[in-house]
């Protein structure tokens, strides 16, 4: 598979040298090869050696005996580490310039706002883990008003997703916002909240699709929020970002119409997930909507596909993947105050992957059922799993 890194579309672009661009191209191509060609080889190995395993853990145990699995895992870990090696030197070199650009945007395009809380403790689920092998995780600061962790996140995603996330890395947000518009045509949120927003790339998609809404995002890590605000300002998006823990929101009751997250709940320890959903319920107005784009639950996938998603939990510094995916989203929504008849889940075709509105609507019309044929990284095409409930 030929893959090239996305060229970011905002004022915080990092100037890579010719050699650095060549390394980015190679690394992106390697990631595409591992996650497509080599991964399909692993599936074929399991088809040959599998013996009727019924759980992802049993599939893992079976495959760990195979040399091909060890090759796949070593190559995938090495390619993930290479992503950071290819982007960090240029980002560190450009750090003063990025801060200057952010400052200029704040003076000349003062859209949105940023509220930091230096007293907020960063949870150990972030501070003690280099999530996705990212050195220093999302919160580490090397200088006053640092935003380099945000630049690393943005640029590593551009390399490792090889175009699947869209031209602004916001395909999840664009897809989910359009899905809400189609599924709930009379729903017109005036205040929207994105939990665990990192650099607010998907947060901005809600502003694009609901331009009259006031859009907020929260995260515990200051560097990604600083970067995210400057990124949004450079694109003309007015976002209000807050350093805040989603398990204990500092917003009043019934203050939002829509609460959203993308690939966030699986970063939260299992004991905290209920608190996040309970807080979402608290801050939603009556009739409001909660929506989470996430990894699909184990119960919805065949054992091999569930094992493949769980690989990150074993080898990619994602210790909360597997505990999260063992949960039943319907049950946890009910435990946190949402009515059972308001629950829904869907596997929604990617907006970017469809290639346009008519193709996306056609894909949507073919169904959004949640199963191994339509959900997960090995599905045909890209489909984003989501679940949610009405308040």
How far apart CA 226 and CA 243 sit, in angstroms, is: 10
pLDDT band at 5 (very low <50, low <70, confident <90, very high): confident
Q: What's the mean pLDDT when you consider all of the chain?
A: 94
Beta strands in the chain (DSSP E): 113-115, 191-195, 214-219, 239-243, 256-262, 284-293, 343-349, 383-390
User: Can you tell me the mean pLDDT for 97-120?
Assistant: 97
Query: Per-residue pLDDT for 222 more than 90?
Result: yes
CA dihedral sign of residues 160, 164, 170, 176: negative
More confident residue, 303 or 380: 303
How far apart CA 333 and CA 278 sit, in angstroms, is: 8
User: Can you tell me the mean pLDDT for 212-237?
Assistant: 98
Query: Per-residue pLDDT for 380 more than 70?
Result: no
pLDDT digits (tens, 9 = 90+) for 290-340: 999 999 998 899 999 999 999 999 999 999 999 999 999 999 999 999 998
pLDDT digits (tens, 9 = 90+) for 146-196: 999 999 999 999 999 877 888 899 999 999 999 999 999 999 999 999 999
Total count of domains within the chain: 1
Domain that holds residue 318: 1-391
pLDDT digits (tens, 9 = 90+) for 136-147: 999 999 999 999
Average the pLDDT over each of 123-132, 222-231, 314-323, 373-382 and give the range with the smallest value: 373-382
Give the burial class of 373: count Cβ atoms within 10 A of its Cβ; 0-12 exposed, 13-18 middle, 19 or more buried: middle
pLDDT band at 9 (very low <50, low <70, confident <90, very high): confident
Q: Angle 339-327-43 (CA atoms, 0-180°, nearest 5)?
A: 130
pLDDT of residue 1: 44
pLDDT digits (tens, 9 = 90+) for 17-35: 999 999 999 999 999 999 9
Q: What is the CATH number of the domain that holds 217?
A: 3.40.50.150
How far apart CA 368 and CA 308 sit, in angstroms, is: 21
How far apart CA 175 and CA 352 sit, in angstroms, is: 8
């Amino acid at each position: 598979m030929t893959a090239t890194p996305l060229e970011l579309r905002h004022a915080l672009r990092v100037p890579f040298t010719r050699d650095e661009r060549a390394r980015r191209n190679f690394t992106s191509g390697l990631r595409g090869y591992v996650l497509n060609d080599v991964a399909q080889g692993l599936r074929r190995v399991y088809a040959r050696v599998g013996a009727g395993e019924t759980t992802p853990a049993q599939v893992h145990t079976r495959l760990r005996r195979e040399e091909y699995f060890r090759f796949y895992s070593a190559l995938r870990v090495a390619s993930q580490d290479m992503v950071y090696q290819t982007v960090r030197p240029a980002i560190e070199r450009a750090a003063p310039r990025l801060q200057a650009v952010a400052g200029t945007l704040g003076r000349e395009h003062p859209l949105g706002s940023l509220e930091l809380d230096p007293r907020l403790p960063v949870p150990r689920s972030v501070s003690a883990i280099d999530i996705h092998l990212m050195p220093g995780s999302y919160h580490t600061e090397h200088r006053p008003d640092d935003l380099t962790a945000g630049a690393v996140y943005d640029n590593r995603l551009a390399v490792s997703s090889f175009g699947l996330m869209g031209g602004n890395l916001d395909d999840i947000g664009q897809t989910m916002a359009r899905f809400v518009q189609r599924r709930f045509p009379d729903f017109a949120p005036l205040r929207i909240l994105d939990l665990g927003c990192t650099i607010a790339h998907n947060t901005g998609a809600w502003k694009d699709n609901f331009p009259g809404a006031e859009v907020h995002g929260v995260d515990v890590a200051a560097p990604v929020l600083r970067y995210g605000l400057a990124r949004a300002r450079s694109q003309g998006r007015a976002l209000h970002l807050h350093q805040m823990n989603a398990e204990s929101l500092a917003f009043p009751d019934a203050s939002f119409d829509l609460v959203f997250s993308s690939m966030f709940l699986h970063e939260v320890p299992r004991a905290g997930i209920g608190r996040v959903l309970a807080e979402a319920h608290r801050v939603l107005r009556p009739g409001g909507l909660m929506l989470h784009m996430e990894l699909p639950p184990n119960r919805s996938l065949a054992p091999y596909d569930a094992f493949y998603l769980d690989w990150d939990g074993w080898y990619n510094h994602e210790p909360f993947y597997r505990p999260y995916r063992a949960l039943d989203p319907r049950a946890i929504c009910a435990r946190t105050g949402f009515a059972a008849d308001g629950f829904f889940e869907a596997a929604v075709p990617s907006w970017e992957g469809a290639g346009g509105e008519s193709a996306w609507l056609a894909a949507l019309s073919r169904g959004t059922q949640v199963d191994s044929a339509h959900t997960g990284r090995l599905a045909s095409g890209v489909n984003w799993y989501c679940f949610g409930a009405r308040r």
